[in-house]
Amino acid sequence: MDTSKDSVGAAPLLITLLGVEMTEKQLAKRFNKTCKAISSVKLLVLKKSG
């Protein structure tokens, strides 16, 4: 998540919706970790099914 390209202000909205105190940099880091975790789970599922 590149918050420098957030022209619509989604990062502050996400922070508000999450209801936690964090900077946009922290949000980006959390988002990236979550995406990596989801990708890992997808790979595991594909390996088990194939």
Tokens representing 49 are 């099914």
User: Cα(33)–Cα(16) distance, rounded to whole angstroms?
Assistant: 19
Burial of 22 (0-12, 13-18, 19+ CB in 10 A): middle
For residue 50, the model assigns a pLDDT of 67
For residue 22, the model assigns a pLDDT of 82
Task: Render pLDDT for 27-49 as a digit per residue (tens, 0 to 9).
Answer: 889 888 988 999 988 888 888 88
